[in-house]
Amino acid sequence: MAIKWEEQWAETFALLLVVIGFIFSILLREAFLSYLSVLCSGFIAGRIYYIKRFKEPILPFVLMIVGFLLGYLIGSFWASRVLILVFFMGAFVLSYYLHVKEIVTIFKSENFFK
């Protein structure tokens, strides 16, 4: 039973990101560090979503983002799961908004050097 890589690459990466998120949240034993890392993860996820939203099919990337968040939520024993979800979604929305309004730009854009 071989994996058809061209058809199931998103599911494979999503499963890998579930494991990475779980391990990452297990290693962070302080709640403050968990909140800080999930804020950074939300900003990165918002940036990835902004970059990929019109160029490629977005569902595989949403699946990978949700996979990481799910793994992180499962492994967060020392922090509030509700706060982690709120911080991630808040950072995601803020990052996406900053990219849409071109306050933060991507490297290959014309407005990168202001």
pLDDT digits (tens, 9 = 90+) for 11-30: 889 999 999 999 999 999 89
CA angle 37, 40, 41 (to 5 degrees): 85
Is residue 110 assigned to a domain?
no
Is residue 95 assigned to a domain?
yes
d(CA 11, CA 38) in angstroms, rounded, equals 22
Is residue 72 assigned to a domain?
yes
Q: Can you give the pLDDT at residue 102?
A: 85
Rounded to two decimals, the pTM is 0.85
Is residue 20 assigned to a domain?
yes
Is residue 107 assigned to a domain?
no
Which amino acid would we find at residue 52? Answer: K
Cβ atoms 8, 63 nearer than 8 A? no
Percent of the chain with pLDDT over 90: 63
d(CA 84, CA 40) in angstroms, rounded, equals 11
Cβ atoms 25, 34 nearer than 8 A? yes
| Helices 59-75, 31-52: crossing angle, 10 deg rounding | 180
Domain span at 75: 11-100
Q: What is the pLDDT of residues 30-77, one digit of tens each?
A: 999 999 999 999 999 999 999 888 888 888 899 999 999 999 999 998
Q: What band does 113 get if pLDDT is binned at 50, 70 and 90?
A: low
Q: Can you give the pLDDT at residue 4?
A: 73
- Number of separate domains in the chain: 1
Is residue 112 assigned to a domain?
no
DSSP conformation class of 27: H
User: What sign has the CA pseudo-torsion 67, 69, 70, 76?
Assistant: positive
* Higher-scoring residue by pLDDT: 105, 60: 60
Is residue 25 assigned to a domain?
yes
Is residue 52 assigned to a domain?
yes
Average per-residue pLDDT in the chain?
88
